[in-house]
């Protein structure tokens, strides 16, 4: 006979992908930028192509997994996106997801231009919707994110990545006038 009390009941487990933080995307965006720099180094410095293509594939798979996990979270609970955008770290994660889609479009343009165009448009549209959601709150002073920070500015300046993917895909005329007026 034991003299110890029974162990406390464990909280119920949450389902798969229900707690994916959007904070995974800034790190993945850094990796996307790194392999993008390596891809440009092929022409500039004569870096061998196969290792760079393997790195692009590995980082693209990581980005695909993270994006799919976050999409599963938002699909299971659509209010999660609104909750994430309410705070600065979540807003930064969602903005880097959109910028990451545009960088990924630039990386995949040489392999699959149709997929790259879809990713570019999704990233651009997502960042535009996010900026149009945040801007009125900032102007009214009702935004809970606090003072302006570099993370907050990403929502408004992330569009600068779009021409890097749009020009090789032949969409320069579609994107540059919008960015000039932005």
CATH number of 71's domain: 1.50.10.150
pTM assigned to the model: 0.88
- The answer to the question of residue 147 being in a domain is yes
Count of domains in the chain?
1
Kindly state whether residue 6 falls inside one of the protein's structural domains: no
Dist. CA 178–CA 91, nearest whole Å: 23
**Tell me: the pLDDT tens digits for 126-177?**
999 999 999 998 888 887 777 888 888 999 999 999 888 998 898 877 767 7
Taking residues 3-12, report their average pLDDT: 82
The answer to whether the beta carbons of residues 55 and 38 sit under 8 Å apart is yes
Q: Where are the alpha helices (DSSP H) in the chain?
A: 24-45, 49-76, 79-86, 88-108, 113-140, 150-157, 162-166, 172-181
Residue span of the structural domain in which 115 resides: 24-181
Distance CA(89)–CA(22), nearest Å, equals: 8
Q: For residue 181, what pLDDT band results from cuts at 50, 70 and 90?
A: low
* 138-151 pLDDT per residue, tens: 888 887 777 888 88
């Amino acid at each position: 006979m034991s003299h110890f009390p029974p162990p406390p009941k464990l909280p119920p487990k949450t389902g798969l992908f229900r707690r994916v933080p959007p904070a995974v995307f800034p790190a993945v965006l850094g990796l996307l930028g790194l392999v993008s720099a390596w891809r440009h180094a092929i022409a500039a410095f004569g870096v061998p192509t196969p290792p760079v293509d393997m790195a692009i594939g590995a980082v693209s798979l990581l980005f695909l997994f993270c994006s799919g996990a976050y999409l599963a979270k938002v699909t299971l609970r659509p209010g999660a996106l609104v909750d994430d955008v309410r705070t600065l770290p979540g807003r930064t994660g969602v903005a880097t997801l959109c910028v990451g889609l545009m960088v990924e479009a630039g990386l995949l343009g040489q392999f699959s231009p149709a997929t790259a165009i879809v990713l570019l448009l999704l990233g651009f549209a997502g960042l535009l919707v996010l900026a149009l959601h945040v801007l009125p709150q900032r102007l009214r002073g009702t935004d809970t994110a606090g003072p302006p920070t570099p993370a907050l500015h990403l929502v408004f300046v992330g569009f600068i990545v779009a021409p890097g993917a749009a020009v090789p895909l032949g969409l320069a005329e579609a994107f540059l006038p919008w960015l000039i007026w932005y």
